A and B are shown apart, each in its own frame.
Chain A
């Protein structure tokens, strides 16, 4: 595996909690700077794929490599380090209810033990980028759905995480917000960040440096 490979999934076989086969012989590779849009119907295993990628679930057979490291049960320290390199939006990823918008956005930098000056600068940049300056002190339950999504996006990118997982983010958004988020994703893609975007329907516009996949019969095509 080359050093710039972000994700490599080999021959994954996974059953759901109900015992149904979700993935059989699933293969997937994502290199640095590349992104992937994975489309799948409800129940096709998109969320399970996210759980595999963040080390919350393990396949029955096959291997998962993230940033050149094989993810296995028991490698807790490694999984913790991997998670710090991943920014998550939507699906499993939510905001911390007891943290303000600013605290939520800053959390990855706290874990990275970033200096106060850098934190302040980055926070201001994010709040400005997503027009969240007024909401900085608000708790998540006071935010609209769109604001909540933007805060998640800010959190997922503030620490320059090399991989961003986006689960059903763009579904049900109004045209203006969709465009705004799309523009930001284009910016991320062009800046060399890798993304895995999971969606139940195809994106209306193509993203640069992005391959499209569909989950079909337990494999990616």
Chain B
């Protein structure tokens, strides 16, 4: 108990003797984590935007003229083309577009019926419109599905926004990589600046540490006040960053973009991790001074 009290008193002394250093450490790390939080939210929001875009993606499967209608509308016959396509892994839904439906859609699209006089000889092909489960909305998986469908007898052509998907995936990859690099840079900056702050605070007490070590004080015992200080600065700065974000959320209203905030659990885990990171920087800051 007395040792715990001693550690807490040392912690209080550290902060009392160097309020400027503690405050500047808190301020600089808060600002860095605020930047980190903004990017986290931006990454979540763009991911949501990406998922929304993908959910609209579908594949059109055009059917040859020689396939009987019964093979396209019936699900009861296992050998029907409809059954074959529906059974492909990743296909979520399948909608049949008959010649009449295709004509109707074309009329709606262009505003005029272009096929007047073709009532008995509609040239538009019959097709299926497929949607996919979210984990299959990837270039590689859709390409495999396309290949599988094209191999089916009776399929004349398959169409989906392949190039658009590639571009979207590429953009997402760049955003993710950039986010990861930025995140690592911010964490490194926090670690280095916190370590240096601790080192500056502790350096003035190097002789004192040496004497304490000679009296038999352990490294952990001497480091503890700095570990706790690092933990508190880390937890406070991460928490303050989120408080600022939530304050801004109340004040600024976005109407066109849905801002995606990380789940509360993730934020709590993040704050704990940052606090641990603060402790690590506290230890790194004092480590060299404890060698004896």
Contact = CB atoms under 8 A, between A and B. Distances in A.
Interface of A: 54, 56, 80-86, 88, 92-99, 107-108, 110-111, 113-116, 119, 155
A83 B215 contact: yes
B207 A84 contact: no
Contacts of B207: 94, 96-97
B212 A96 contact: yes
Nearest to B212: A96
B208 interface: yes
Nearest to B7: A110
Contacts, number: 57
B212 A54 contact: no
Contacts of B253: none
- State the 8 A-B residue pairs at the shortest beta-carbon distance, nearest first: A84-B216, A83-B216, A96-B208, A96-B211, A110-B6, A80-B216, A98-B208, A113-B2
Given A98-B208, A99-B208, A108 B215 contact: yes
Interface of B: 1-3, 6, 13, 17, 205, 207-208, 211-218, 221, 292
Listed residue (B2, B215, B216) with the most chain A CB atoms within 10 angstroms of its CB = B215
Contacts of B13: 98
A97 B215 contact: no
Given A81-B216, A84-B215, A98-B208, 14 more contacts: A56-B292, A80-B217, A88-B215, A92-B214, A96-B207, A96-B211, A97-B207, A97-B208, A98-B13, A99-B208, A107-B212, A110-B2, A110-B6, A111-B215
27 contacts: A54-B214, A56-B214, A56-B292, A81-B216, A82-B216, A83-B214, A83-B215, A83-B216, A85-B216, A86-B216, A93-B211, A93-B214, A94-B207, A96-B211, A97-B205, A97-B207, A97-B208, A98-B13, A99-B208, A107-B212, A107-B217, A110-B2, A110-B6, A111-B217, A113-B3, A114-B2, A155-B215
A49 B104 CA distance: 102
A104 B132 CA distance: 74
Contacts of B6: 110
